[in-house]
Structure 1
Amino acid sequence: MSDTRATTQSVRYRERLWVPWWWWLPGLGLAALISVELNMGVRSLPDWVPYAVLLPVAVVVLAWLGRYELRVVAGERDTEVWIADAHLPASVIARAAAVPRSAKTAALGRQLDPAAYVVHRAWVGPMVLLVLDDPDDPTPYWLISARHPDKVLAALKT
């Protein structure tokens, strides 16, 4: 027999880790430049084909780079942190802290534990550190990019 109870969830915080808007200008410009080069180099192609192929490819690549969404969701039983397809119940978080842009290099460098779960986006400055206290999970902590780590931490506390 299956359990058909409805679960109520409320999103306390949500942010999409999009690339910066100004990346679109060089990305589309590079696609257009390569299209011009192809037009000059391959005379047998109709002029519109490189543009029709490469400009949409640039749009898809830039959208794909910003595909991750960070969410803090409050359910009936527990609050969870979601990033991409991974989720972490707040009940296993022992400590949480913001990692400012100035400390990001150290956190991702020599101090990084190889067993940590990391979602890093270079265009997002600060990060959130979530230290785990779960004996069944070999992951010591999560280190995830967040534009507003203070809002993520506040959503976890409420």
Structure 2
Amino acid sequence: MHPPAQPYDERLTAPRSWWLIAFGIGVGCALALLPLGPVPMLGGLVVGGALAAVCVSAYGSVRVRVTAGSLVAGDARIPLEALGEAEELDEEGARAWRTHKADPRAHMLLRSYVRTALRVPVTDPDDPTPYVYVSTRDPKALAAALRAERSASR
């Protein structure tokens, strides 16, 4: 019997400053409607701020998980059998792989406000995707969870 795999579950939440920007958008909408009176101004504040907050929340709700023999990165579920050895990327390496080293065929779960990442080659010969790039705040823990899940599923 194999020991349970090391769990990994990370939500790539948006930074706090983005919530201030969402509030600022609401204020901007309110100011744009100010000439129409106080009720439209209040509506602009509420509706504009709420729409901006929904956008920030949706963008910052993406999850990265290792579960049941798969790497789940956003909407993608990739079986570990189709993946090679993970490469942990520090800030400089992550920037290189999302800019000048990037392959347009790669699957990228990219969040610019997360400075580190993990790059995992796709070894499935039937898949044209060369690698998976996943923004993560803890690439060491994600790589360890992938290794643990791979060894537990064998």
Counterpart residue type for residue 62 of structure 1: V
8 Å contact kept, 2:64–2:71: yes
Residues 6 and 145, structure 2, Cα contact 8 Å, conserved in 1: no
Note the 1:1-158 alignment, pairs <5 A: 12-39=7-34, 41-43=35-37, 46-73=40-67, 75=68, 79-158=69-148
Deviations 1:128-151 (A, max 9, x none): 100111111111100111111111
More helix by share: 2
Give the secondary structure class of the aligned counterpart of 1:15: strand
CA displacement at 1:10 relative to structure 2: 7.5
Which is strand-richer, 1 or 2?
Answer: 1
Q: Identity across aligned pairs (percent)?
A: 28
Q: Which amino acid aligns with 1:29?
A: G
Normalising by structure 1, report the TM-score: 0.83
Point out the more displaced range, 124-133 or 27-36.
27-36
Aligned partners of 1:95 and 1:132 also within 8 Å: no
Partner SS state of residue 94, structure 1: coil
Higher RCO by CA contacts (8 Å cutoff, separation 6 or greater): 2
Q: What value does the CA root-mean-square deviation take over the aligned residues?
A: 2.0
Calculate the TM-score normalised by the size of structure 2. Answer: 0.85
Q: Secondary structure at the match of 1:115?
A: coil
Q: Separation in 1 of the partners of 2:144 and 2:6?
A: 13
1:33 Cα deviation from its structure 2 partner: 3.0
**Residue type of the alignment partner of 2:47:** V
Provide structure 2 residue ranges, at least 5 long, that are not aligned to the other structure: 149-154
Partner SS state of residue 82, structure 1: strand
